[in-house]
Chains A and B, each alone.
Chain A
Amino acid sequence: MNQKIFWRLSGPGALFLVIFLLVPLITILVFSFWRTESYTMIADWNLDNYIRLLTDKTYLTFLMRSLVMATVVSLVSLVFSWPIAFFIARYGGKYKIILLLLTSAPFLTGEVLRVTALQQILGPLGLINMTLNNFGIEPIEALMYSNTSSAIGLTYLWVPFMVLAIYLSLLNFDFDLLEVAKVNGAKSWSAFWEITWPLNKIGTAIGVVLVFVPTLASSITSKFLGGPNGALYGNILTNQFGSTGTWALGSAMGVVLFFVSILVLLVVWRLVGDLRRSGISIKGGARL
């Protein structure tokens, strides 16, 4: 009886995801073994696309750059998101929802608009450097069309996801536990490392992946902020579906991107698992 209701309730969504997510993904997996000729797909099974991706240094360079970018952006977002999510969850009271939605509302202003506005704030003719210039100070080079500038833009775009994930995890965290720890003489930091962090690691891991994946695939931000050496994997991926029309190669790039994301997911999961095993048993959190 219960089993039947379970399937009736979860089945429609599961079916929906299989048809509209899984089946299209299998389609690009299949197409990645075909080839494109004058803007049509030809069912000529081969491995050329993958061989090209793995041997041509250009693709690997872009992929590596995207991986480094995604790692940096995730770590920076992680450091900022924790105190923010913690504050909203613990001290937000009945206004939690507003404080949280304020971090997400910028999504209603399109990505292109916000990134171009950032470009005008950060760029060589931008607000920051022009103001410095007015005071006779040298402009900050790192802000002008560089990978640093891309990283700022990408953190800007995706940090709300991390805040959301950690906040949702903290919703089910009993803050009274911290009071108990304090009464028993634990310092704030050791209470955090021994109680708050281990109990919210899974939520944090989800947050990291929510920032990592879109950053790894991003193309728009680097286009506007990245400058001459700023092109990322996402930029050449989207090119295959634009001007060059090499869909088969583009599909293969999408498949590679997908598997790299899964690999990262496994690494993060592994890290969380290890932390879970070691986390609680740490004695005297001051060592951390």
Chain B
Amino acid sequence: MKSTLGKRLQLGTLILLYIFLYAPIVYIVYVSFQTNGVWPFPPDFTLEHYASLWHDEIYREGLKNSLIIGIGTAALASLLATMATIAILKYHVKGRMIMTGLFLSPLFIAHVIIGISSLMFNKNVLGLSGNIGSTILANATYATAFAFLVVLAQLARYDWRLDDAAMVFGATPKVVFKEITFPLIWSAIFGAFVVSFLLAFNNLEISFYNLGATPTLPTLAWGSLRHGVSQELYALAALINLVVFVFFGVLYAMLKSGLLKLDYKEA
């Protein structure tokens, strides 16, 4: 009896959190269809913000740059983090604890410090102005730490003897990784990729200090603040959330039908 009460309370908290997290997003979607953005009541529906979003080059440019930063960061971070996790979990050698500490350390450094320190380093030491490349590199520092945490937690119980067994039967390390390890751990790597993408795609604090005039979604939002956030950005955010929920729908359908299995322990 008591455990069902506990379960209900937990589910209640989860639903409350979802409502809390999505209330502003629902509001953003609503305002994206309104003529007046400041006090959009009573409703006065319009599609003009979507039309001007379509015609204005700058938003497409911003979206493109944000996607490049998100994907670039996620690819780099999940690659470095996966390699490090395999090293730490598979090989019980000297330096494991130090490595673990090093890979987790960016979690404890505020983004604004990463942003200003990479700005100061690029500008005053290297004499370079920031660009998309340096933004990806700066974002990838903390993203690597998150990716590492995600992969480490998911692979902590992976049985590395599987790899050894394959080696005994003559497989080369490359073949072992391709045929044994990767098919079993890809969902952990995918999780790390998704988390680092989520973090980097709309990161303001690092992009702001690393990119001058190059537009990204967060810097466009920041720049438009003087006149109140432009409603085109609300429209764009609404479209992004539409894509996200279509993605969740597809994911749900695939998990339900059993087409996709993400838990390697069940595989």
Contacts and interface: CB of A to CB of B under 8 A. Distances in A.
A binds B: yes
Interface of A: 2-3, 5-10, 12-14, 16-17, 20-21, 23-25, 27-28, 31, 41, 80, 83-84, 86-88, 91, 94-99, 101-114, 116-118, 120-121, 125, 127, 130, 156, 159-160, 163-165, 168-169, 171-172, 182, 187-188, 203, 206, 209-210, 213-214, 216-217, 219-220, 234, 237-238, 241, 247, 250-251, 254, 257-258, 261-262, 265
Say which size band chain B's interface belongs to. 35 or more
A38 B106 CA distance: 32
Contacts of A258: 109-110, 113
B227 interface: no
Interface string B27-54: 1100100000001010000000000000
A52 to B, nearest CB: 18
B154 A171 contact: yes
B112 A25 contact: no
A105 B10 contact: no
B81 A28 contact: no
Nearest to A94: B255
Contact of A111 (B23, B86, B95, B202): B202
A204 to B, nearest CB: 13
Contacts of B14: 83-84, 87-88, 99
Contacts, number: 268
Interface of B: 2-3, 6-7, 9-11, 13-14, 17-18, 20-25, 27-28, 31, 39, 41, 80-81, 83-84, 86-88, 91-96, 99, 102-114, 116-121, 124-125, 137-138, 140-141, 144, 148-150, 153-154, 156-157, 191, 194-195, 198-199, 201-202, 204, 209, 217-218, 221-222, 225, 229, 233-234, 237, 240-241, 244, 248, 251-252, 255-256, 261-263
Contacts of A168: 149-150, 153-154
A241 B209 CA distance: 9
